[in-house]
Amino acid sequence: MPIYVGYSDNRNFNEVRSLFDVNPNNPDRMADFEIEFGSGYIDPGSYEIYDMDDFPGYQLNDEFVRRLFPFSIPDNIATQIVTKGPKTFFFIKTEEHITKRVGLGLQILSEIEPQSP
């Protein structure tokens, strides 16, 4: 199951989450992320979203990013997140590989293999 790390410069937690949840206006009952990125079904609980507004007083740095993820991520991914200075960042496990990297106000940085701590 592929795992992707991404971010948004302008979407908050609820806005990003709504892209991963089933869109009730879609007749196929698909999430907007699934349609836009071609990811296949997104299981509930297969993603985490981190909104910097939820961490007042914390400085966005590599160590802070690494502590939030429930698995080890490559150093270059943590550095890319910090360099971008996003409003939110996230990981998502998908059924299938995605077909694009940018859309819906999201940017996918990389597909990763979780590393042992």
Q: What distance in Å separates the CA atoms of residue 51 and residue 94, rounded to the nearest whole number?
A: 21
Better-scored residue on pLDDT, 114 or 111: 111
What is the pTM (predicted TM-score) of this model?
0.90
In order of 108, 109, 115, the CA distances from 33 in angstroms are: 11, 15, 25
pLDDT for res 1: 80
Instruction: State pLDDT tens for residues 64-90.
Output: 999 999 998 899 999 999 999 999 999
Give the closest residue to 11 by CA, choosing from 28, 32, 38. 32
pLDDT of residue 101: 95
pLDDT of 115 higher than 70: no
**Residues 66, 62: Cα–Cα separation, whole Å:** 6
Q: What are the sequence ranges of the domains in the chain?
A: 3-107
Q: Give the tokens for residue 66.
A: 């690494």
For a pLDDT cut of 90, what percent of the chain falls above it? 78
C-alpha distances out from residue 21 to 11, 13, 45, 57, 103, Å: 15, 12, 10, 30, 16
